[in-house]
Amino acid sequence: MAIEKRPFGRTGHLSSAIIFGAAALGKVDQATADRTLDLLLEHGVNHIDTAPGYGESELRIGPWMDRHRDDFFLATKTRDRGYAEARDSIQRSLERLRVDQVDLLQLHALIHPDEWDVAMGEDGALRAAVEARDAGLVRFIGVTGHGWNVAAMHRRSLERFDFDSVLMPYNWVTAHHATYADDFEKTLEMCRARDVAVQTIKSLARGPWAAGVSKRRTTWYEPLEAEEDIRTAVHYVLARPGIFLNSVGDVGLLPSVLRAAAERIELPDDAAMAAHSERTGLASIFGI
C-alpha cells in the first residue's frame, strides 16, 4: 500500500502522512543522502522538513532539488529571533537548498517567552518571514518547538499571527502527561478550526540516553528500534486524523517507519499500548 496523502492545512498541498525529517541527513555523506532520496521516492514521500541547524542537511538536499524540486513540498526554518539575522538565514537556506523559493519557512523552537517577544516584535524574525513571503521567497509560514510548554506556546503564537502550520511532540508518553496532553488537544482543536497543518515529532522516542551509554543512533534521545515497536508507535500517531508524523532523525530507522506507514493504519488499543510502553520502557525525554 502507498503512504496516505493528507491535506497539509490550508496550503492546498496533499502531503504524505510521513514527512521526511531531514535532521537525519545532518551527518551523512552525499551518497547516503542520495540513497535516502531513492527510498523517499519509492514510498511516495513528497514533503521534506529541514533546518539550518541540522548539520549538513540543507547541503545534502540541494542536489536533489536540481532534479526533483517539483516532487517535494520543501520546508526549512530559522532559529534566529531578530529581523536582520532571520532575513540573512532565509537567504542562506535558499542558497544551500539551491532553490528560489521554499514552500514553508518555520520559526524554529519558539518556546521561550523572552525569545518569543523578540521574534514576534516589530524588529523580529516574523517580520523577516512575512517579507520573504511577500517577496515570493517562501509560500507559507509556520512555527515549531518541543518541550512541555510548546503546545501552549503555539496557541499564543496563533493568537498573535495566522501561522499556516505548527510542529510539536506527540506519542504515547506525551498523550498521558499531566499537563501536556490537555495542551496538545486544545492546540490541535484550534488548528483544526483554523485549518492549520499539525506536524508531530518524537513518535519513536523511547526515553533519554542512559548516562555513559554509547549512542548508536544520531537521534538525541534513545529511539525505538525493533520493527514491531516502530510499527506500533507509527500507527499510534497516524491513526489520529489529519496530523502528520515527521520521521526520526536517523536514516537507518527510516525504512521501518516507511514500511509501517505504508500498511493499513490501525489504532492500537489502550491495553496494547500500555503493554508496549511497559515492555519497551517508554519514558519522557523532556524531564518530569
Question: Which residues are the active-site residues?
Answer: 54
Q: Phi and psi dihedrals of 180, rounded to 5?
A: -65, -40
DSSP state of 5: E
Contact 166, 143 (CB under 8 A): yes
3-state DSSP call for residue 232?
A: helix
* Per-residue H/E/C for 174-212: HHHCCCHHHHHHHHHHHHHHHCCEEEEECCCEEECCCCC
CA atoms 84, 90, 94, 97: torsion sign:
positive
| Number of residues assigned to the chain | 288
C-alpha cell at 62: 540541494
